[in-house]
A and B are shown apart, each in its own frame.
Chain A
Amino acid sequence: AQTVTQSQPEMSVQEAETVTLSCTYDTSESNYYLFWYKQPPSRQMILVIRQEAYKQQNATENRFSVNFQKAAKSFSLKISDSQLGDTAMYFCALEGSARQLTFGSGTQLTVLP
């Protein structure tokens, strides 16, 4: 069975500052994929960034980057230059060979003006 754990239910950050959201996971598979999705209030889930487990290089997407530590089974998301529009629930997710996503419980991020 696969599990994803997000231990920070809520976080806040000042506009323009940097924040890091934590995620740990467990899987017995060697080939898997990790994702961060964003769910703004009353709006649909949007992909933020993805990481292939076989790639050592950390994925980057504009202001969003990850710190992927495979041995520690850790996959944190760093948001630089936070903007008000980044306020949302952030979910970490794992996809294995079954192709279904296993999600964490989410971190509610609030960007303060």
Chain B
Amino acid sequence: DTGVSQDPRHKITKRGQNVTFRCDPISEHNRLYWYRQTLGQGPEFLTYFQNEAQLEKSRLLSNRFSAERPKGSFSTLEIQRTEQGDSAMYLCASSLSGLAGQSDTQYFGPGTRLTVL
């Protein structure tokens, strides 16, 4: 399977704990995106990388959230001191950037469902 993979698929944690999620993009894709999806809503953009550079961060991404893509391949999303409001599905997507100004289709992974008790 050469699609986007995410690990773990499910995570249950207690309020105040730290959690880390991993995303492995499609191998040749240079862009990687993180989104958050709450129940019954569409995904909301959190951040994205081009290679190892983090180019954009949403205001949704509080200082408890940090994302990295150290070698331009896989990425991690860490949430510190989790709160119940962090409970959501965390989606990763990747794309291969083409010509400047042109869209590149984003392919999504299965997501990590976080439950904060």
Do chains A and B interact in one complex? yes
Once A31-B101, A44-B108, A100-B48 are accepted as A-B contacts, the answer to whether A91 and B42 lie under 8 Å apart by CB is yes
Q: Does A64 count as interface, using CB distance less than 8 angstroms? A: no
B45 in complex: contacting residue of A35, A46, A100, A104, CB < 8 Å: A100
Query: With the chains together, A102 CA to B56 CA distance in Å?
Result: 14
Query: With the chains together, A35 CA to B107 CA distance in Å?
Result: 12
Question: Could you say which interface size class chain A belongs to?
Answer: 20 to 34
Whether A98 contacts B110 by the Cβ 8 Å rule is: no
Question: Could you say which interface size class chain B belongs to?
Answer: 20 to 34
Q: Does B62 count as interface, using CB distance less than 8 angstroms? A: no
The DSSP consensus for interface residues of chain B is loop
Once A50-B103, A52-B103, A106-B42 are accepted as A-B contacts, the answer to whether A99 and B31 lie under 8 Å apart by CB is yes
CB neighbours of B110 from chain A (8 A)? 43-44
A32 CB → nearest B CB, Å: 8
The DSSP consensus for interface residues of chain A is strand
Q: Does A101 count as interface, using CB distance less than 8 angstroms? A: yes
CB neighbours of B42 from chain A (8 A)? 4, 91, 93, 103-106
Q: Does B41 count as interface, using CB distance less than 8 angstroms? A: yes
CB neighbours of A84 from chain B (8 A)? none
The 19 sampled A-B contact pairs (Cβ below 8 Å) are A4-B42, A45-B43, A45-B91, A45-B108, A47-B105, A47-B106, A50-B103, A91-B42, A93-B42, A95-B103, A100-B45, A100-B48, A101-B33, A101-B45, A101-B106, A104-B42, A105-B40, A105-B42, A106-B42
Residues of A within 8 A of B (CB): 4, 31, 33, 35, 37, 43-47, 50, 52, 91, 93, 95, 97-106
Residues of B within 8 A of A (CB): 31, 33, 35, 40-45, 48, 56, 58, 91, 93, 101, 103-111
